[in-house]
Amino acid sequence: MATRLDLPRIRSCPRAWCQIWLLLSILCSLPVYAVGEETTDITKVSEIERAESVVSNNIAEPEADIVELPTQSSEPEPTPSPVTVSESTNNAQIETTPTPQKDNDIRQRIEGIFSEIDGLQAVNVGVAQGVVTLTGETPNEKKAQQAINLTNRLTDVVTVSDQIDRTLDVQDNVTTVYQGLKVQAKNLVKALPLLLVGIILFILVSWFGSWLSNRKRMWQRLTPNPFVAELLSQTVKVIFIIFGLILALSLIGAETILSTLLGGAGVIGIAVGFAVKDTIENYIASLMLSIRQPFRARDHIVINGQEGIVVRLTSRATILMTLDGNQLRIPNSEVFKGTILNYTKNPERRFTFELGVDANDDPLAAIKVGLDAIHCLAFVLDEPKAIAVISNVGDSNIVLEFQVWVDQSETDFSKARSIAIRETKHALEDEGFSLPEPIYRLRFNRDLEKAFEHMQSSHLNDTSNVTVTPTVSETTTNGNSSTIDNKDKKQAKARAKLILQDDNASDVLSARSDDKLMKKVEQEIAERSDETDLLNNNSPQE
């Protein structure tokens, strides 16, 4: 149903028409408020604009006499659904109602920007519905990406279509690089005075750190350990170098370079740490060994079965002189984790040896005879006292173990043991104790003896001949054997006495320490080495 109005009156009063139309719009919106729905200010503005447009159209058409206006409907007008917001490449919201004027403004703005940048003047811009299409040419990929990034920065751009042709022209690219280098050269020339001041500052700070690091007496006063003192001095030197570098870079305004260097140094440090973990482990072990000082120079030690005299302790290895006169280098990581046996720490050292007597002899009497002979030796210590015990009983003998103490700082350990065994053996034999060898008895019946005799006669040329001589009497055999042994012993003793009466036999009978090895050790210690000796007699020893 429509209401008919008189147009001449409306034409004479257009303001009244606008008021009537606004009143009708408000009345139409009343049912919406009644059901609890909200209307925004944007909807009101759109209704007013619509009313004004209708009024202007009616005024522009005088030939129409009657205008039909829509009456108020019983049902409310449906509100438009919210527009879904999407994101473009520049993370901007897409407008619901784009206009050609806005596309034209985007195109003009982008063309104006490209006209001021070298290498982007040949790029053509097309805009439709907020979508920018870039065509034309750029000298390289870098310029094309620059054009795309600049376009994406505009807020009204939905997305960018890249259709740019990369010409890769030699002249354009070379010219661009040349211009960049020319600008950098000019900036470098301008910054030369400031750079020179930064270099001088760095040199002064580094020199002061090096001078302070070379004050060895000062660092030795702070710590008695030479390795720790050297470590402190080197640490101070590195700190001053880093401090000077920071001051120089801050002066020329290049702090970002320092952060880059530190980041790169961290990554490189991790990689190098995995590559040289053994070297780092040796260095830390050297530090711990220099603090603990488990041995001194000239000490006779055994490290994990490696025996020798200590020459020096370096930052990487422990150097020994073996008993054969060879130089032995053991990594400090193995020394720190290994088992260390120090013979020099306690000069009193015990050696043991075993001798067997006949099973028919009294072992305690043999022990007394042996100990009396041992105590007569000059190198044997009275305290602790030498002792002997019955070790075990064998098949044909009783084994005695003698335990003797000597001062290894004055006595050669191996020689002393050798002389003690000889004197104990002779003393037991002189007192009638026999040192039997293992005896094995074989018994054959008469038939087996005849078989052996037959084999002997039939195989005279066989290399494995077995001659069996029947024993007449066990007593006779033992008696003959004893007589032969005594005769052999007397001959052996006479021969030994004659040989040992020679003037050159004094070294054989002497148990003094051989100083040849120690002379070689002293020469090694006296030789100058590039590596600092971490052993110090002034440092406390664990």
Strand pairing partners for 126? 133
Domain boundary among the residues 151, 168, 185 is at 168
CA 249 to CA 512: how far, in whole Å?
69
Question: Which of 212, 269, 217, 268 has its CA nearest to residue 240?
Answer: 212
Give pLDDT, residue 471.
44
What are the φ/ψ torsions at residue 324 (nearest 5 degrees)?
A: -85, -5
Domain boundary among the residues 200, 224, 253 is at 253
Token pair, residue 204, equals 């002064």
Residues 190 and 125 in one domain: no
- Cβ–Cβ contacts within 10 Å for residue 55, how many? 17
Residues 150 and 210 in one domain: no
Whether residue 388 contacts residue 371, with contact meaning beta carbons closer than 8 Å, is answered with: yes
Local structure of residue 186 (DSSP, 8 states): H
Residues 211 and 138 in one domain: no
What are the φ/ψ torsions at residue 360 (nearest 5 degrees)?
A: -85, -10
Give pLDDT, residue 90.
59
Residues 406 and 335 in one domain: no
Is residue 68 assigned to a domain?
Answer: no
Is residue 486 assigned to a domain?
Answer: no
Instruction: Quote the domain boundaries for residue 110.
Output: 100-168
- Cβ–Cβ contacts within 10 Å for residue 530, how many? 5
Residues 430 and 373 in one domain: yes
Chain centroid, CA 393 distance in Å? 58
pTM across the whole model: 0.49
Helix axes 277-292, 226-251, angle to 10 degrees: 130
Residues 158 and 105 in one domain: yes
- Cβ–Cβ contacts within 10 Å for residue 461, how many? 5
- Cβ–Cβ contacts within 10 Å for residue 222, how many? 12
CA 285 to CA 97: how far, in whole Å?
76
Residues 353 and 428 in one domain: yes
Is residue 390 assigned to a domain?
Answer: yes
Q: What is the CATH number of the domain that holds 364?
A: 3.30.70.100
Is residue 533 assigned to a domain?
Answer: no
Residues 159 and 113 in one domain: yes
Is residue 128 assigned to a domain?
Answer: yes
Is residue 60 assigned to a domain?
Answer: no
Residues 305 and 376 in one domain: no
Is residue 399 assigned to a domain?
Answer: yes
Residues 163 and 124 in one domain: yes
Domain boundary among the residues 118, 138, 168 is at 168
Residues 409 and 354 in one domain: yes
**Element (DSSP H or E) covering residue 300:** strand 300-303
| The total number of structural domains that make up the chain | 4
Is residue 366 assigned to a domain?
Answer: yes
Which residues are CB-neighbours of 343 under 8 A, at least 6 positions away?
Answer: 299, 300, 301, 302, 349, 408
Q: What is the CATH number of the domain that holds 114?
A: 3.30.1340.30
Residues 104 and 146 in one domain: yes
User: Can you give the pLDDT of all 542 residues of the chain as single tens digits?
Assistant: 444 444 444 444 445 555 555 555 544 444 433 333 333 343 433 444 444 444 344 433 343 333 333 443 444 444 443 333 333 455 556 666 777 888 888 888 888 898 888 878 888 998 888 888 999 888 888 888 888 998 888 888 888 888 888 887 766 667 767 777 888 888 778 878 888 888 888 899 889 888 888 887 787 777 766 667 777 788 888 888 888 888 887 777 766 666 776 677 777 777 766 666 777 788 888 888 888 888 988 899 999 889 999 999 888 889 999 988 899 999 998 999 889 999 888 889 999 999 999 888 899 999 999 999 999 999 999 989 999 999 998 778 899 999 999 998 888 888 999 999 999 999 998 888 888 776 666 777 777 777 777 777 766 545 444 444 444 444 444 555 566 666 777 777 777 767 677 666 666 777 777 788 888 888 888 886 667 777 877 666 76
Strand pairing partners for 160? 132
CA 160 to CA 173: how far, in whole Å?
25
